[in-house]
Amino acid sequence: MPDPTPGPDENPAENAPGPSAGTPDEQRAQDPGTGPQEEAGPEGLTVDDILSTPQSTDAGSADAGAAAAEGEDPSAALAEERLEELRRLQAEFVNFKHRTAREKEQLRTFVTGDLLQTLLPVFDDIDAARQAGDLTDGPFAAIANKLEEILVRQGLTRIGAVGEKFDPNVHEAVLQQPTSEVEPDQVSMVLRSGFRIGERVVRPAQVAVAIAE
């Protein structure tokens, strides 16, 4: 009777040894479709779960306090920078305002001085008429007085009076006069009045300067 047991060449697939169970690590290494699994943290949380968890209020406050203590608060630095810019702009505006006021006053002085220069012959005639006694009373005397009052309110100042100390900046010495009525180097006679608007001398006064007899 033939032997029913197949030989080694009759069915090799059936004679191949089956897969061995082996250890879990060996099974994962043998299975190419199975990748490494993330390690679970405490209470079954993964690393991604822990990193994506929002920060608590106390922890955020502690971090903000630490940043402020280290001087790293960007809001405070920005506010200080804006405040400094406002102070600088305010100082520039005050300087501009003062400079504009000075320039305005200087312009007014020059305009008034130029107007006065055109009226100097009229003032000379008024002084001559007053010295001659022609303007003691009457309508012309009133007009001359009103004209002088208007210009005085605009800053007009008359230069030249007997007894003043001679000043070459405002006086023009025409002659020297020996006299004992005033001290030497003082104005002994005013030949023609001078005028000044503010600090600007429109015309110096022509005077005689006293010298010792």
- The per-residue pLDDT for range 122-145, each reduced to its tens digit, is 888 888 888 888 888 888 888 888
Least confident interval from 52-66, 113-127, 144-158: 52-66
Mean pLDDT, to the nearest integer, of 107-122?
83
Mean pLDDT, to the nearest integer, of 89-113?
88
Strands 205-211 and 171-178: parallel
Tell me the C-alpha distance between 82 and 104, whole Å. Answer: 33
Q: 108: burial class by Cβ within 10 Å (0-12, 13-18, 19+)?
A: middle
Per-residue pLDDT, 197: 84
Q: Which amino acid is at 191?
A: L
| Packing angle, helices 74-132 and 139-153, rounded to 10 | 160
- 146-180 pLDDT per residue, tens: 988 888 888 888 898 999 999 999 999 999 989 88
The model's pTM is 0.51
128: closest CA among 117, 116, 140, 139?
140
Phi, psi of 20 (to 5 degrees): -90, 140
Least confident interval from 9-13, 99-103, 139-143: 9-13
Mean pLDDT, to the nearest integer, of 14-28?
48
